[in-house]
Structure 1
Amino acid sequence: MTMTTDQNTPAPALDIDALSVSFATDGGTLHALKDVSFSVPKGRITGIVGESGCGKSTLINAILGLLADNGEVTGGAIRLGESADITKLTPRQMRDLRGLQISTVFQDPMGALNPVLSVGKQMRDIQYRSNLSKREKDARSVEMLRQVRIPDPEKRLTQYPHEFSGGMKQRVAIAMALMMRPQLLIADEPTTALDATLEVATIELLKELQQEIGCAVLFISHHLGVIAELCDDMIVMYAGEVVEQGSVRQIFRNPSHPYTRALLDCDPARLHERVKHLPTIPGTLPDLRNRPKGCVFQARCALAKPECGQPVTSVEVTPGHIARCIRTNEVTA
């Protein structure tokens, strides 16, 4: 079940419908994603949150067509704009999409930049599909660096990644990702390696560039404060399933799944007094080689009851706000 839409809702830049992904392992088939469905509207920023192991990275790799050799899309569809299901495309067709219609900013900018090539050379290489001359490509690169607030961009084109600070490298990575003005930008925890000051500056920069270019953004983060500040909509994932989705305002004001509430309760920013131990969610993620038949969160849920062992359907809490829990009313009470 995906969020309901109306005439005022932008058309989706990305639409994921009942996506399931599995990995063949020595211990059996690992069901990493199960029936994941959501849309990223054009011109909006959608955040995905969830603890490590919830399926965020698998989801990104499935969208980009970069699953490991032992990974397989076993069900569902991924559509980019008006295109057909991109999971059916050949590797070459996916390469034609990446960088042009889908771009990515990764967590570690140093890992995304080639240390032995100048920034200018790397920015020219991204434009290989363009018929522009080298001079024109460099001019476009300078303008893009200027937009991400890199000082003296003409000189910076000749420099190498090690000559940039961590924050500047991340801004270069953002400039490279947006160079071709993609329909969809995937930002994979791009502020994790930055200090608090640079994190705020990067968030503001992403907001400005997204509004200027008009692309949709899928933003992945562990940081709930960043999600609240940057995103319009929010997806909460647990053990490879979407357990809650809605606008940021809806979910932060009215968390309707026990896991969402537990995540918010663990946010240190919500603590009003000093404590010796930070709050945590008891228990561990389920074994994804043997998924529970009912609610995937039941073993860690304080509200669990026998009915939670049966298949669970999503409930629309309010228009556009969906939670996958049979006890939603008790969570929100």
Structure 2
Amino acid sequence: MSESPRTPGLPDPGLANPAGPLPAPPFDPQLAPVLDDIGELRDAAPASPAEVPAWRARLGQLAPDPTLEELRADGAYEVTERHVPSPEGAPDVPLVIARPAGLEPGAPVVYHVHGGGMIGGSSRAGLAGLLEEWAVPLGLVVVSVEYRLAPEHPYPAGVEDCYAGLEWTARHATEIGGDPERIVVAGGSAGGGLTCALALLARDREGPAIVGQLAMCPMLDDRNDTPSARQLEGRGLWDRRANHVGWSSLLGEARGTEQVSPYAAPARARDLSRLAPAFIDVGSAETYRDEAVVYATRIWQAGGEAELHVWAGGFHGFDQMAPHARLSQDARRARLQWLGRILER
């Protein structure tokens, strides 16, 4: 994989990539055994874009999505699905709209973008956890978007679907019991990268005035050449090789070149000023560590607001795979506290 010039002003997270192998940071003691237990899920990652459909099917068997009825949890939550206008000529964008039963009108809204390496996942993935962890304690409406996936639908299909859903949510927030002045965009992994892309698009298109962006272990840089990517190759849940497949599926031959849009790979953005306040977190023992740290640093350098957490010993998606680990609980608590603060402004 060839290296591309870095964006002007971008601090080099590796202080240059040294020759030879790099020692990897250790996994947290409570997390390391979990990687062995989920070996089948880890090892199922596709080796090329051609293998993505089979990988999706296998993932659906290992971790099936909940039904709407299951998400309703015997009446604890009000859950509906809507199909909203899409970018011109594309299918309508599905949204799952969920909130605690009996929630008062005018509640804050979290617009959720699912993960999956740009090649998998769905609007229902992880939604039950968000309802329990965020919607109940903070009194939120959660809107989760289903976007078209690569390689069948390369850039810009996915991000344009997400943006169309965000615009609809902002226009119809009152209708779904939300407050149009208090919308936070949130997502993890690919959804974290798309969260950052939506913040850029909302600024550049003068679109919805989101009040925050919460990006968990975000997928930001198609160049895939940071020291953390090299350190963790062959280790953890989503390594450099799997990341290469995700980016190649999304961008094709443009991956790694200077033709990549910042709305595809937010690390490419030259201007990170005037963005919604950001919360960015990442594990120290995962592929995306360095690009996340650099992105937060560049927001500060541009005069913006970002809260950054690097969780020592965390692998990619550790809090989902090991929710009862102390590190996972700390990470989840930090996100909830930030959301509470940002929504009280």
Q: TM-score range by the shorter chain?
A: under 0.3
Larger Rg: 1
- TM normalised by structure 1 equals 0.27
Which protein has the bigger strand share?
Answer: 1
